[in-house]
Structure 1
């Protein structure tokens, strides 16, 4: 069927590798008094969405049944449950797309992003947000102040990922930070590190166009690796940026093995390394350098308590600009073409316009 505004709840469905369709599904109902129904206005295309479209799986998460794509969204409240107090019909909200069980040990310890029963949008078997309507609990919706548009609201999801990564790194004023990968999350890590007070923020990438954008966006300098060893690249990076014995923090937002190696080697003794990008399941790792430098090594997964709230605050205060990352919007019925363009590396962040009431 074709995408039309007359559909009740038109949704963009992934059926298999490179197999998508539009399907009119029933309007969702409020099954919990604390839930709200949202009319989705904008949805960003994430690398994981493209990966499911391209490969049909990510690790152990395999698309076995038709699944609605999308999880970077913002919209307007259509209906509220009887117990909802902080939101009302007509409110504009950023949508946090992962619903934790709130009962397991990680949830109860405050790390709900590690919930063992997480229901995350567009991760099998759960449907995503590329639909006219979507249901979320009240406390997973974040009211947008007047100065933040709904388009910007859709970028609160990748910004929250970056906030979580930078918080994992414990970036503090005056520190030097090297970020590997100048895609959307890497760029936002640069912006958040700057907002946290880092004195030097260096973006590393193998595409000059990305480095050019990063330099204008939120970095003090950029670095393109040469086709030499990671140790040699790290030494040149330190020399060119006057890092002395090394950087305080290295963040990998690329998932590329050479970046991981260079990140370990560019750190000073006692530095902090955070892995935010997802690449191959297993890689070789410079464990001797990590041990002898007594580095702090951390992973980072999605976002946790306070991350979305901080993301909204950073944008509303003007400390982080997400609008510059939006390189295009497409109509809902052009969603498949948008996926093809993102796969081809066009633009930084493409938004799909939802079906407005």
Structure 2
């Protein structure tokens, strides 16, 4: 079968590899779509800053490059390994791609998404979604309702990142929020806030193209460079400031401009990965009892929440999701790195 394999920095090749076979407790999937994620871009362009160790075997999976990419993906079950129950051949599924040890402090506290030895199918594993087929544990698949397409199924993973961030923010229905960044995770955060009953949301985005994309979905936006972010927040909140702000941009200005927009006791949630440190004056947090919380990935419950919201019609792919083939993966990485487009799904 054909697969997109990461060999090293700026080195992804489309290669022929052996078809996988499901073992006990596993399912074989015919992959449908795999999304290109910001994490994929970090791995491709700056693996040393990705937070992943590609120089040694992964402690849970034993994987090392070359690595098949694709950790946000959907597919159809083609075969079942011994002992699999609750999943049938022909089921359309999204895949929760996390590998967790089950033993560390995080796992013991029900937080496998921050396992100290965390791995991801399609980043640090034997297989991934950017291939014709892959094998995963049956416990990782989430069967999609009839009303949820395989295209939406491939978006469950990135939308679950945003869903988890909203859960971590503690924001209540009827609250107010600022989202910095209108890329896929920013768009997902806006959808997740809507699903949680938060309607007064302002999206801060300097790119006119990305503002137009999320405005077409119904969002209120502001250009934080040419516009007046503080005035827009004041108008949204009657001068109180937002209850929660979300850094979905991965740039220092997103954090530094968001903090002053929070109401006293508000919370800033860091969703995006940063390749560079951010210099912050602690007094800006102290004087207003502002909290900053990091958020990583998602739980199985976040996947369930997103899929249920998709089934209810909350999510809309119009204008921000496009498709590409396996042969277009490297070119798609370059386009996204350059700021063009929003979400690209690779058809396996």
Specify if TM > 0.5: yes
CA–CA distance in 1 between the matches of 2:259 and 2:267?
Answer: 9
Partner residue, 2:321: 327
Q: In the alignment, which of 18, 24, 27 is matched to residue 19 of structure 2? A: 27
Runs ≥4 residues deviating over 6 A: none
Q: What CA RMSD, in Å, does the superposition of the two structures yield over aligned residues?
A: 2.0
Partner residue, 1:77: 77
Partner residue, 1:257: 252
CA–CA distance in 2 between the matches of 1:343 and 1:307?
Answer: 27
CA–CA distance in 2 between the matches of 1:300 and 1:185?
Answer: 12
2:274 is aligned with 1:282: no
Partner residue, 2:108: 108
C-alpha offsets along residues 160-185 of structure 1, whole Å, 9 cap, x if unaligned?
00100000012211101000011000
The aligned runs of 1:283-302 (5 Å cut-off) are: 283-302=278-297
SS of the residue corresponding to residue 294 of structure 1 reads coil
Partner residue, 2:143: 143
CA–CA distance in 2 between the matches of 1:227 and 1:344?
Answer: 21
CA–CA distance in 2 between the matches of 1:213 and 1:268?
Answer: 28
Q: CA deviation at 1:49?
A: 1.1
Q: Is the 8 A contact 1:237 1:266 kept in 2?
A: no
Partner residue, 1:311: 306
Counterparts in 2 of 1:287 and 1:270: CA distance versus 1, 3 Å: same
Counterparts in 2 of 1:236 and 1:155: CA distance versus 1, 3 Å: same
CA–CA distance in 1 between the matches of 2:124 and 2:139?
Answer: 23
C-alpha offsets along residues 317-356 of structure 1, whole Å, 9 cap, x if unaligned?
11222x22553212223322322322232221111111xx
Partner residue, 1:3: none
Q: Is the 8 A contact 2:3 2:326 kept in 1?
A: no
Counterparts in 2 of 1:237 and 1:326: CA distance versus 1, 3 Å: closer
TM-score for both structures, normalised by structure 1: 0.89
CA–CA distance in 1 between the matches of 2:198 and 2:115?
Answer: 31
Report the more deviating stretch, 234-243 or 87-96.
234-243
CA–CA distance in 1 between the matches of 2:94 and 2:255?
Answer: 32
CA–CA distance in 2 between the matches of 1:301 and 1:36?
Answer: 26
The aligned runs of 1:177-196 (5 Å cut-off) are: 177-196=177-196
2:39 is aligned with 1:48: yes
Q: Is the 8 A contact 2:67 2:124 kept in 1?
A: yes
Q: Aligned pairs, how many? A: 339
Structure 2 runs not aligned, ≥5 long: 56-64
Partner residue, 2:222: 223
Counterparts in 2 of 1:132 and 1:199: CA distance versus 1, 3 Å: closer
TM-score for both structures, normalised by structure 2: 0.91
